[in-house]
Structure 1
Amino acid sequence: MSVMNESFAAKFPPGPPPNLIRALFGAMQQNPLDYFSAMAQKYGDVSGMRIGNFRSLFVNHPDLIEDVLVNNARKFHKGRILQANKYLFGEGLLTSEGDFWLRQRRLSQPAFHRTRINAYAATMAEYTEQLVSTWQDGEERDIHEEMMQLALRIVGKTLFDADVTQDAKEVGETLDLLLRMAANFGRTVLVPLWVPTPRNLRAKLGVHRLEKVIYRIISARRASGRDTGDLLSILLQVRDEDGTRMSDRQLRDETITLFLAGHETTANTLSWSWWLLAQNPAVEKKFHEELDGVLGGRIPTVEDLPKLNYLNHVLTESLRLYPTAWGMARLAAEEHEIAGYPVHPGYGVAFAQWVVHRDPRWYDAPLEFRPERWENGLAKRLPRFAYFPFGGGPRQCIGNTFALMEASVVLATIGQKFRFRLVPGHKVTPLASITLRPKDGIQVKLETRK
């Protein structure tokens, strides 16, 4: 896979033949993870995709990815999949563009300052302890569902000072529905929401359910007049240049984006981490030994986290193999060039962390779960975008530090008390939607650590 394409005269890179039906119903739709992996193997660092009159470049070299996400970020907007999901995210941080996005990002940033995030650690540990207290040795549970409900409660309390325990099940089921639907990329892009298909009607109903929760939280906070210093307090106090406050719709867009993304990403990371640990006894043993040595059975604090080196390597390796953001896309707003190929306005540019993170040029035995690979400074030797689970550039995930700390606290708290054994016969399959989640959950048997 060579980064330099010798045929600079070519106007569009090589790739599969254009076929609208195949794009909607074929291999790219049925298993995008395998599809893009095969594209990288067959066509190299830059390949071309044509779906109808839409053209997109698929890019796999870290230097070329950095060129788009960092060096020329202003030339690109978010991709068509996220734009098509604005019915869910509105004009929130995930989907908005330009000066409006920059303003919203600056307003939200203080809620994710490291000092404030560190203060959330106690809440994260407390809520995890509450969950674990309901578990019994020998029980079977869907660990993905457990992590989703836990992460939802944590994000509700820390960012919005709201108890969403009563909503956790409904929100989880609704999000599961919406993400399964969003996994159908072709239909998401090509069938507008206003077309009254059964799929679109289900999507609208799901969004309405989520909005009820969000608007209830906003209304309760407005009525109380409390300023708790959390994200919602910050957004409620903001005034535009003309002195007006954010409308409920603006608040809804920012809140629903962070409410959903803030727990979905962490829950998936935790779920894949538990799944990988359960399949690798030697790694799991070393993970437990570190917890016992550093914590000795007590609840972890933020001061403990830098001492849990092996836990950090487990998380890093889990995010390498199963990045919750498995792929990204941008839409060209200006003329550009990638490896000699012109990129015209309206062209798409796609990258897949799933593919780059498993590239043997950067990782030995790339399909193996080896937390030890990170012990001797590998991260510093890698090209910058050989590992980018949270994206990069100015649009990098605002909550990456929040997500990593939460995942660390939850792993350390649960790992001291339980190990998980996979239920035989239950197949775990990644679902590549907006995020990478286990399609049918992860069934485990709880085993109390003696």
Structure 2
Amino acid sequence: MSATVKTNGIRKPRNFPLYKTLPGFIRNPLKEIEHIGRVADGDLARLDLGASKPLIATHPDHVQKVLRNSGDYVRAGTFWRPLHGLMGDGILGEGELWALSRRSLQPLFTTRNVNTLVGRMAETIDEAVGELDGPARDRRPVSASAAMIRIVNRTVLRVFFGEKVSPAEIERLGPAFEAVATKLVFRFLLPFVPEAVPMPGDRAYRRGVQIMDEVMYGLVERYRDDPGPGEDIFTALCRARTEQGHTEQGHEVSGRWIRDNLVAMFATSTETTSTALTWLWPTLESHPDVARRLYDEIEQVTQGKSVTAEHLPQLAYTRQVVQELLRLYPVGWLFPRVARRPDSIGGVPIKAGQSVLISPYLTHRLPSVWDRPLVFDPDRFAPGRGADRHRYAYFPFGGGQHQCIGMHVFNLEAQLVIASILSRYRPELRGFTAPAAPRIGATIRPSQDPKLILHPLDRVR
């Protein structure tokens, strides 16, 4: 891998000055970021934004250095501020409150515990998918994103929130999270702009956060002192608050801490799955060979019956499709970090306080790391393939201490949703221009919302 070298032998990052990048950022910020990633080709890149000059690390070696040394590269700084304002100091924070969150929630997401919940998850998904029968019979188009959000939200809330959230509250939370994720885009891309300066989407964002606070703090008031029996996220957080009381340094484990964790867990467990599944439909439309293999596998495995936990081990190609979706369209596309002390990455000196941006979206598309990186090919993840792949060539769920604790849930849930839908229907896209173009924001979404006509299949009742 080449790098720019100063005459005194000190390596420098590739520099991308504002006057060259600004026109591209105005036209299409994601395309400009892709361009920077291609030109840097694994070298550290310095993005000169005037008020801020973050480094972008895309080479797997550099990604590994940052994510595995979470004590040296922390979730803080200008680029983390918009997410911190929403998620706070729980499982997406740092320090003692993060450690307490991790200890409290980790037991719920062990492979063993999740596997005990898969049957209930499958039943909930089957029930939610069954509500598409009406539009399918009437040939009414449905919004792919809205349908995925509804199915995933119901599953997550029922299985992992212990049904403590009422149907009315679910109806409020879904649109609120959607508005926040969509409208966060300008604050996310321009984090150095002061909060006092109005930006597009601010009002919708604030309203979405207000609704989330009303629902989450309402839950805290109802249940924090007596969450009742059960092994769900809310009960685990309330027990931690009651049993711990304070952290070792005396910080109170407060209602705010429960709220921050509830928001973070709901957002990450629903947004990741629903967004990734929304990408599935335009992708299948553009890749009929992949669609045929996927349909054939699900048909052979399910035999027209409802999808159950027992089907999962046989859905090997379905699992590969999910993995490849997350390679091309990783939902958590940008992980901001700040160096706590002087260091070096790939021979480039790093100052304390320097922002370093990690992007699965860019690393997953590096030609020096992936063969034909822009081609959708689920066989990259076939058994026996990729044994020599760098651990951090593919990291849709992050890595190190802060790796997403819900990644096993995501993989199982996504497979169940796909198999449940495709065991009932054959999708047809309407009013959609292929190929699907990504739209940047807090997550990577299709620029168009796919509309689906679902053609019913004969099923064994």
On whether the aligned pair clears a TM of 0.5, the verdict is yes
1:334 corresponds in structure 2 to 341
CA-to-aligned-CA distance 1:390-415 (integer Å, 9 cap, x gap): 11111111111111111011111111
> Structure 1 residue 103 and structure 2 residue 100: aligned?
yes
Structure 1, unaligned stretches of length 5 or more?
Answer: none
Distance 1:185 1:30, change over 3 A: farther
1:351 corresponds in structure 2 to 358
Q: Decide whether the 8 Å contact of 2:60 with 2:392 is kept in 1.
A: yes
Q: Decide whether the 8 Å contact of 1:183 with 1:431 is kept in 2.
A: no
**Residue 47 of structure 1, CA deviation:** 1.3
1:175 corresponds in structure 2 to 177
> Structure 1 residue 112 and structure 2 residue 109: aligned?
yes
Distance 1:392 1:31, change over 3 A: farther
Q: 2:49 is matched by which residue type in structure 1?
A: I
> Structure 1 residue 430 and structure 2 residue 438: aligned?
yes
Tell me how many residue pairs correspond in the alignment: 444
Q: Distance in 2 between matches of 1:149 and 1:441?
A: 15
Q: Decide whether the 8 Å contact of 1:93 with 1:101 is kept in 2.
A: yes
Q: Distance in 1 between matches of 2:221 and 2:152?
A: 23
> Structure 1 residue 387 and structure 2 residue 419: aligned?
no
**Residue 212 of structure 1, CA deviation:** 1.6
Q: Distance in 2 between matches of 1:365 and 1:18?
A: 30
Q: Distance in 2 between matches of 1:245 and 1:340?
A: 42
Q: Distance in 2 between matches of 1:110 and 1:15?
A: 44
Q: Distance in 2 between matches of 1:269 and 1:382?
A: 23
Q: Within 5 Å, which residues of 2 pair with 1:25-44?
A: 26-28=23-25, 30-44=27-41
> Structure 1 residue 76 and structure 2 residue 83: aligned?
no
User: Which of residues 165, 168, 177 in structure 2 aligns to 1:166?
Assistant: 168
**Residue 167 of structure 1, CA deviation:** 3.8
How much is the aligned-residue C-alpha RMSD, in angstroms? 2.5
**Residue 29 of structure 1, CA deviation:** 5.5
Q: 1:206 is matched by which residue type in structure 2?
A: G
Q: Distance in 2 between matches of 1:259 and 1:272?
A: 20
> Structure 1 residue 369 and structure 2 residue 366: aligned?
no
Q: Decide whether the 8 Å contact of 2:340 with 2:353 is kept in 1.
A: yes
**Residue 12 of structure 1, CA deviation:** 4.0
Structure 2, unaligned stretches of length 5 or more?
Answer: none
> Structure 1 residue 59 and structure 2 residue 57: aligned?
yes
Distance 1:273 1:147, change over 3 A: same
Q: 1:252 is matched by which residue type in structure 2?
A: R
TM-score, normalization: structure 2?
A: 0.88
Q: Distance in 2 between matches of 1:33 and 1:445?
A: 30
Distance 1:14 1:366, change over 3 A: closer
Q: Distance in 2 between matches of 1:186 and 1:263?
A: 20
> Structure 1 residue 50 and structure 2 residue 48: aligned?
yes
User: Which of residues 285, 302, 305 in structure 2 aligns to 1:295?
Assistant: 302
Q: Distance in 2 between matches of 1:128 and 1:248?
A: 31
Q: Secondary structure at the match of 1:368?
A: coil
2:15 corresponds in structure 1 to 15
**Residue 69 of structure 1, CA deviation:** 0.8
Distance 1:64 1:259, change over 3 A: same
Q: Decide whether the 8 Å contact of 2:3 with 2:12 is kept in 1.
A: no
Q: Distance in 1 between matches of 2:237 and 2:432?
A: 47
Q: 1:219 is matched by which residue type in structure 2?
A: E
Q: Secondary structure at the match of 1:350?
A: strand
Q: Secondary structure at the match of 2:356?
A: strand
Q: Distance in 2 between matches of 1:31 and 1:378?
A: 35
User: Which of residues 429, 446, 450 in structure 1 aligns to 2:454?
Assistant: 446
Greater shift in the superposed pair: 258-267 or 74-83:
74-83
Distance 1:356 1:152, change over 3 A: same
Q: Secondary structure at the match of 2:454?
A: strand
Q: Distance in 2 between matches of 1:251 and 1:341?
A: 40
Q: Decide whether the 8 Å contact of 2:3 with 2:11 is kept in 1.
A: no
CA-to-aligned-CA distance 1:85-132 (integer Å, 9 cap, x gap): 3221121212x1123312221111111112221233233222322233
Q: 1:246 is matched by which residue type in structure 2?
A: V
Q: Decide whether the 8 Å contact of 1:312 with 1:408 is kept in 2.
A: yes
**Residue 299 of structure 1, CA deviation:** 2.8
Greater shift in the superposed pair: 27-36 or 379-388:
27-36
Q: Distance in 2 between matches of 1:241 and 1:139?
A: 53
2:325 corresponds in structure 1 to 318
CA-to-aligned-CA distance 1:15-63 (integer Å, 9 cap, x gap): 22135xx87x642355333112211222332111122342211122111
Q: Within 5 Å, which residues of 2 pair with 1:388-403?
A: 388-403=395-410
**Residue 297 of structure 1, CA deviation:** 2.4
Q: Distance in 1 between matches of 2:182 and 2:89?
A: 22
2:270 corresponds in structure 1 to 263
1:124 corresponds in structure 2 to 121
Q: Distance in 2 between matches of 1:84 and 1:225?
A: 31
**Residue 242 of structure 1, CA deviation:** 5.1
Q: Distance in 1 between matches of 2:372 and 2:94?
A: 39
TM-score, normalization: structure 1?
A: 0.90
CA-to-aligned-CA distance 1:278-310 (integer Å, 9 cap, x gap): 322221121122122222223333332122111
**Residue 186 of structure 1, CA deviation:** 6.3
Q: Secondary structure at the match of 1:349?
A: strand
Q: Decide whether the 8 Å contact of 2:4 with 2:12 is kept in 1.
A: no
Q: Secondary structure at the match of 2:54?
A: strand
Q: Secondary structure at the match of 2:387?
A: helix
Greater shift in the superposed pair: 392-401 or 192-201:
192-201
Q: Distance in 2 between matches of 1:193 and 1:76?
A: 25
Q: 1:437 is matched by which residue type in structure 2?
A: R
Distance 1:417 1:338, change over 3 A: same
CA-to-aligned-CA distance 1:317-374 (integer Å, 9 cap, x gap): 1111111112222111111111221111121111222222122233332222211232
Q: Decide whether the 8 Å contact of 2:188 with 2:441 is kept in 1.
A: no
Q: Distance in 1 between matches of 2:189 and 2:334?
A: 18
**Residue 83 of structure 1, CA deviation:** 2.2
2:214 corresponds in structure 1 to 212
Q: Distance in 2 between matches of 1:41 and 1:198?
A: 30
Distance 1:448 1:280, change over 3 A: farther
Distance 1:301 1:149, change over 3 A: same
Q: Secondary structure at the match of 1:233?
A: helix
Q: Distance in 2 between matches of 1:172 and 1:290?
A: 32
Q: Distance in 2 between matches of 1:10 and 1:18?
A: 24
Q: Secondary structure at the match of 1:81?
A: coil
Q: Secondary structure at the match of 2:53?
A: strand
1:414 corresponds in structure 2 to 421
Q: 2:13 is matched by which residue type in structure 1?
A: P
Distance 1:182 1:81, change over 3 A: farther
Q: Decide whether the 8 Å contact of 2:307 with 2:420 is kept in 1.
A: yes
